[in-house]
Amino acid sequence: QLDRRSAKTYEEAMEKEGIQFYLGRGVKEVRMGDGGEVTSLLLTDGTEIPCDMVVVTAGVRPNVEFLKDTGVEMDRFGLVIDHHGKTSVPDIYGAGDVTGRSPIWPAAVKQGMTAADNMAGVQTSMEDFFASKSTMNFLGIPTMSLGVPEIPDETYTVVMEDNGEQYRKIIHKNGKIYGAILQGDLSYGGVLTQLIAKRIDVSRVKKPLFEIDYSDFFHTKENFEFYYEET
């Protein structure tokens, strides 16, 4: 959800609260006392950490065992679906956690609605589904992550602003914004969400990406409803 720069802000803040990180290494051995209680952890680099409780997390893994040998396509994430929620087998649809591609509740809901529409004969696509939108606020540091947090390859361009207390980053390519991170001040999140979700071409706007506002793209109807007209 975050890049190295925005994650480091949280790491440093948590370290000030007494939390210690051991990154880039794993657990080699859980050492036990004579009574079966945990006494320490031995890490792969030889570090031993005294402790009396171990909590293990492995992220979210979809339950797809029941699909084994059914012919339904799966990959390392889970069930494979297209933009209509269809699987590789006709009349079988998928959505939500089973796909391994819905990291947050709103994303899973969008997948479910799209799959339901198509199952009922109403053709709907998830073309405006832009990977994820995550917000967090740990230790008084607000952060928002939109779309991809890191460049997929070298054909993408990154624009950043960083004054220490506020960090902003936009990932774009060929006039389209594919991802962004805001930390410290989330006030620009609404505009960026629309630009990413609607895949709006920002190349025709002759101003810095962090200064775009709704007036550059949106107009209002008589009832003050916003609409976007591509030119």
Contact 231/206 with Cβ under 8 angstroms?
A: no
What are the phi and psi torsion angles at 4 (to 5°)? -65, -40
> What is the span of the domain harbouring residue 146?
138-228
Output the six-digit token pair for 218: 């949106």
Question: Would 41 be classed as within a structural domain?
Answer: yes
Instruction: Say yes or no: 152 and 199 in one domain.
Output: yes
Could you read off the pLDDT tens digit of each residue along the chain, which spans 231 residues?
A: 899 999 999 999 999 999 999 999 999 999 999 999 999 999 999 999 999 999 988 777 888 889 988 999 998 888 999 889 999 999 999 998 888 876 667 778 888 999 999 999 999 887 655 456 788 999 999 999 988 888 888 899 999 999 988 999 999 999 889 899 999 999 888 888 888 877 788 887 778 888 887 777 666 666 666 555 654
Q: Is the pTM of this model over 0.95?
A: no
Question: Would 125 be classed as within a structural domain?
Answer: no
Output the six-digit token pair for 128: 């405006």
Instruction: Say yes or no: 72 and 100 in one domain.
Output: yes
Q: What is the CATH number of the domain that holds 223?
A: 3.30.390.30
Instruction: Say yes or no: 145 and 205 in one domain.
Output: yes
Question: Would 130 be classed as within a structural domain?
Answer: no
Question: Would 126 be classed as within a structural domain?
Answer: no
How far apart are the C-alpha atoms of 100 and 78, rounded to whole Å? 5
Question: Would 124 be classed as within a structural domain?
Answer: no
- Please give the tally of structural domains in the chain: 3
